[in-house]
Amino acid sequence: MSVKLVSWNVNGIRAVSKKEEFWDWFDSTDADIINFQEVRATQDKIPKKLVEAEEFHKSFNEAEKKGYSGVATYSKVEPVEVIKGLGVEELDSEGRVLRIEYPDFILFNIYFPNSGMEAKRLDFKVDFCNALLEQLVELKSQGKNIVITGDYNIAHNPIDVYNPKNCEGKSGYLPEERAWLDELEKAGFVDTFRMFDEGENNFTWWSYRTRARERNAGWRLDYFYVNEEIASKVKSAEILSDVYGSDHCPVTLELDF
């Protein structure tokens, strides 16, 4: 079985759905599973065309706060089970996690917290990341295959930002955040994009300020990680930097079981 997944922080599903670029992409994508982050809408506010896309099984996790956060997964593959959140009450009110079990793997669609200005939410983010890692390690020990995608809100290494020196001390590039991705990899999870491309200037987010996208002055914040046991089943992992509509672009993963 071959399955193609895509992940995209759309920066508001209602806003992006007003853009022709979004529908050009949506109507032409060959993805079997589409993951959206930062949906920022309740299900009753989702654009009609997305609601009526009958070829997809639809899963949502909404934030308690309206117009904030939220994730959604559109899947042509029928899920075995859908779980919302990490199961930790103090971490789950913002609608950041969908855990979806399929016959061959468990998918996590995640909108990771932003540590905020002056790292005001860093403690919350670290708690969130550690609770997730604990769950991932437990599932891996049970022999489960795992795919973790979404907007991690972390640029891992200097190669993942346009100007590393200038990024030091900034949210998304803090030592604590980057160290957590080190821990994820030590626990046996693989950054699939770097399996194929170790080059510079591969970014997935560009600030709307200063025409950053035109200059490719970006950060790589969006990832597909898999457990090392299925790394051999990864056939491709790409950044679709030519797809517009959000301040992020989509990323893809193709697996062949």
Token reading at 135: 């769950």
Residue linked to tokens 């790409």: 238
Residue whose pair of structure tokens reads 């970014």 in the numeric block: 203
Q: 225 by DSSP, 3-state: which?
A: strand
CB atoms near residue 61 (< 10 Å): 24
Annotated catalytic residue 151: yes
CA Rg value for the chain? 17
At 13, list the tokens: 């599903």
Measured over the CA atoms of residue 7, residue 9, residue 12 and residue 15, the dihedral's sign is negative
From the candidates 32, 92, 151, 222, give the one annotated as an active-site residue: 151
Residue partners of 16: CB distance under 8 A and separation at least 6: 10, 22, 245, 246
190's CB contacts (< 8 A; 6+ apart) are: 225, 226, 227, 228, 231, 234
Are the C-beta atoms of residues 144 and 106 closer than 8 Å to each other? yes
| Residues labelled catalytic | 151
